[in-house]
Homo-oligomer: A and B are copies of this chain.
Amino acid sequence: MVTSVPNRLPSGKNSTAEKLLVAASELMIERSSIEISLSDIAQKSGANAALVKYHFGNKDGLLLALLERNAATELSNLEYLLAQPITATAKLKLHIGGIIRAYYRFPYMNRLIHYLLHETSAGSADEVSKFFVAPLLDFHRRLLAEGESSGEFRKTDPVLFYTSLIGACDHLFFGRHAMSRATGVGPVTDEVCRQYIKHMETLICGGILTQAGEAAAAG
């Protein structure tokens, strides 16, 4: 726990903190930007700006708490997925779609991760690593181990796998803006997400499935 997030509470436990998080989330979606001010957040939530300081230390603390809340939801979905009585290949495909849809649903998540990892204090970056990077990498380790032991996946390094999958999914949202400037590539829509999920399934499954895995993917 970093000192910049002194009074962070589990979501739902404190209605003012919760209201501030919801207001920040809605503002960033409305503006397609993470550039929001404390007074905007206060105004939208109907709370006093001083309460941001009380609950989250400062704006970065609030953004960190928001990202942590979203990450916690996604990570509990991963635990649920891992426990399902389906093949590792089916879990892998659901996971690929899950990442891309999560980024699509919370378009600011991607910008926030970049911002908190690279442009704020080392404390924020450590927190993001702890509640986002480490659990996701751990999930990949377990999923790959499951697929290898069932004979569906060839041996695949989890760190390299994480890097390629998360990098490719992240870039649909982070890189798209730059691409559309130069080339008339359109924005990321529902349909683009569906196409990219299919594309990534083909790449990742093509790259790591054994023949047994391909049979599982087709079945």
Contacts and interface: CB of A to CB of B under 8 A. Distances in A.
A175 B113 CA distance: 10
A177 interface: yes
A195 B157 contact: yes
Given A160-B195, A196-B163, A204-B203, A137 B172 contact: no
A75 to B, nearest CB: 13
Contacts of A76: none
A187 interface: no
A44 interface: no
Interface residues of A, number: 49
A93 B128 CA distance: 34
Contacts of A202: 207-208
Interface string A163-196: 1111111111011111101110100000000011
Contacts of A199: 156-157, 160-161, 164, 207
A162 interface: yes
A10 interface: no
Contacts of A195: 157, 160
A102 interface: no
A99 interface: no
A133 interface: yes
Interface in A69-102: none
Q: Which 6 A-B pairs have the closest CB atoms?
A: A167-B171, A203-B207, A129-B182, A206-B206, A206-B207, A134-B182
Interface of A: 114, 117-118, 125-126, 128-130, 133-134, 137, 156-157, 159-172, 174-179, 181-183, 185, 195-196, 199-200, 202-209
